[in-house]
Structure 1
Amino acid sequence: MPKHISLISLLVVCSLWNMPKAVHAQALVPHTLQLDAENLERQGLRLAQEAAQLGQFQQFELALPRAKLASQLAPNNDKVWFLLGGLHLQTKDFEPAIAALQKAQSLNPENTEVVFALGSANFQQQNYQAAATYYQKGLQLKPDNPQGLFDLGNAYYMLGRLPEAIAQYNKSFSLDQKFWPAINNIGLIKYEQGDIENAIQQWRSSVNIDKQAAEPLLALAVAMYTKGERQQALSMGEAALSIDQRYASLDFLKENLWGERLVSDTEKFLALPRIQAALDQQEN
């Protein structure tokens, strides 16, 4: 048997091979193919469910083959293609992610989650204008989506459209006043603009919402240290890094949209002996 034969074809052929012989066998073929197609789709949906569960535990090497096979067995199910695209997106395999998501969108143009995911895929590839277009399209379908508004704000931020970015962040926060990332990112913009007091205000508000949020706590520590409030800043910095040590990485900060001024000040802050000692202690 040729190696390139599809599994769907193989399963259909096997089912036909095992059929009992009948004088009028041809009359039964369409009905049998229909039943097989339904059965294959059910198998595909079961595989998709398994893939989704594995993806939740970040077992992508096990999840992806199941999702790929599910997309072959249930090729007209937009949720299966969305799952496959999402898994590729999680592994930063952007080309197949976008292909799968576009397939999902073609099957169901009203699926807002797919549109937002296409925005995310383009954003991660630094295609910020394309990302903004997808986010805008998603918000046309679902205008009161705090995450979508926040994501559009991020796209505007990276495009240098700062007043529009702040407007989107404010809309996002107005819809969900526990969503601290929106006002945290207003702080990022204000700091780059030299408005340190306003940035501090945004980060204080973020920390008051979630005291375990490492990002605004570290940003607040850096801003306060730069202002000269050093002892309190050092304590805050130690606390932030004990919550999430990833923020000691400048690359990680840039991935989270920290601007040049804040990154530069954070680099100096992280080099302080007390902060270095705290990081060394965590590693040991």
Structure 2
Amino acid sequence: MPNRNYWLSFLVVCGFWGISLPAFGQALVPYTVQLNSAQLEKQGLGLAQEAAQLAQFQQYELALPRARLATQLAPKTYQSWLLLGGLYLQTNKFAEAIAPLQQARALDPKNPAILFALGSANFGQERYQAAVDNIQAGLKLKPNDPDALFDLGNSYYKLNRLSDAIAQYNQAVANNQKFWPAINNIGLIKYEQGDIEGALTNWRNALAIEKQAAEPQLAIGVALYARGDRDRGLAAGEAALKIDSRYGDLEFLKQNLWGNRLLADTKKLLAAPRIRTTLQQAPQQPPRQTTPQTPQ
């Protein structure tokens, strides 16, 4: 599934803070220069803007030290704390993300992007009810956000509230008809419930929207293979793994909410010699993932 960077999208949409980015050599101020608090804050915001630009190119490890320094130079601006928390999210440091995101919320309690990011951090810590609470609080401020509705659906899924999960996924699609991950995840639930045809319909619909989406492609292959359509199942599985070989890892699939029934059937497909050969030949570096765009 695509990662949710509410924090980065929010900062980019807002034009960050409308300040001029200092030259790289100006990022660190010589110790002999005396600056007042306003100048220090401006310097911190410049560093944060530079970190945000690095984050847009997924240069998270380079962005993190700049973001940390930005919170020290501009501690009273929620943007620097939101940026730091968001970078921790993107590097799967969920526990570290909580404190800066809570600080951002203290400075701007009515910002939905902060609440959504907190929900993502809770989800990463497997605190699913806390994730539900934060995402719902954000949706009260920004109703019908497809990304947030999708994450709320995922949280309900982990709480085994499957009908609630499907309702949120459907709501996400109602607000963005091209939001294929939500359509895909409805298929995951249907497969676990034994509705194989319904699951296949969802996965085919998801693939029709995003033809390079490895996940629904592999799921289709698994379902076909499991019901005896071996040739088409192998072909679909092979095509998916050529797009993104990470989907050949059962643990990765589990992290992407694949249930026990689907994982058991996937294991059988992955054991096929043709699929094993494909995995050996597949590139190790997956393509850059994109997030479905919400119509403005």
Q: Taking structure 2 as the reference length, what is the TM-score of the superposition?
A: 0.83
CA change 1:152–1:46 in 2 (3 A) is same
Note the 1:7-26 alignment, pairs <5 A: none
| 1:101-152: CA deviation from partner (whole Å, max 9, x where unpaired) | 0000111112111100000000011000000111111111111100111100
| 1:171-223: CA deviation from partner (whole Å, max 9, x where unpaired) | 00111110001110000001011111111111111111111110001001100
Once residues 176 and 60 of structure 1 are traced to their aligned partners in structure 2, the CA distance between those partners, rounded to angstroms, is 28
Deviation of the 1:55 alpha carbon: 2.3
**Aligned residue in 2 for 1:119:** 119
Whether the aligned pair in 1 keeps the contact of 2:245 and 2:283 (CA below 8 Å) is no
Q: What residue ranges of structure 1 are gaps of 5+ in the alignment? A: 1-10, 17-34
| 1:20-63: CA deviation from partner (whole Å, max 9, x where unpaired) | xxxxxxxxxxxxxxx71111111001100111122233333322
Structure whose CA Rg is larger = 1
If each structure's helix is expressed as a fraction of its own residues, which one has the higher value?
1
Deviation of the 1:153 alpha carbon: 0.4
CA change 1:283–1:171 in 2 (3 A) is closer
Kindly provide the amino acid, as one letter, of the partner of residue 108 in structure 1: D
Deviation of the 1:283 alpha carbon: 5.5
**Aligned residue in 2 for 1:272:** 272
**Aligned residue in 2 for 1:179:** 179
Once residues 274 and 56 of structure 2 are traced to their aligned partners in structure 1, the CA distance between those partners, rounded to angstroms, is 38
SS of 1:109's equivalent in the other structure is: coil
Note the 1:153-168 alignment, pairs <5 A: 153-168=153-168
Q: What residue ranges of structure 2 are gaps of 5+ in the alignment? A: 1-28, 285-296
**Aligned residue in 2 for 1:206:** 206
Once residues 283 and 67 of structure 2 are traced to their aligned partners in structure 1, the CA distance between those partners, rounded to angstroms, is 37
Note the 1:67-146 alignment, pairs <5 A: 67-146=67-146
Kindly report the root-mean-square deviation, in angstroms, between the aligned alpha carbons of the 2 structures. Answer: 1.8
SS of 1:228's equivalent in the other structure is: coil
Whether the aligned pair in 1 keeps the contact of 2:218 and 2:237 (CA below 8 Å) is yes
Once residues 198 and 52 of structure 1 are traced to their aligned partners in structure 2, the CA distance between those partners, rounded to angstroms, is 41
Kindly provide the amino acid, as one letter, of the partner of residue 240 in structure 1: A
Determine whether 1:230 maps to 2:230.
Answer: yes
SS of 2:143's equivalent in the other structure is: coil
Once residues 283 and 211 of structure 2 are traced to their aligned partners in structure 1, the CA distance between those partners, rounded to angstroms, is 23
**Aligned residue in 1 for 2:61:** 61
Once residues 213 and 59 of structure 2 are traced to their aligned partners in structure 1, the CA distance between those partners, rounded to angstroms, is 26
Once residues 147 and 129 of structure 1 are traced to their aligned partners in structure 2, the CA distance between those partners, rounded to angstroms, is 18
Deviation of the 1:75 alpha carbon: 1.0
Kindly provide the amino acid, as one letter, of the partner of residue 141 in structure 1: L
Once residues 239 and 14 of structure 1 are traced to their aligned partners in structure 2, the CA distance between those partners, rounded to angstroms, is 60
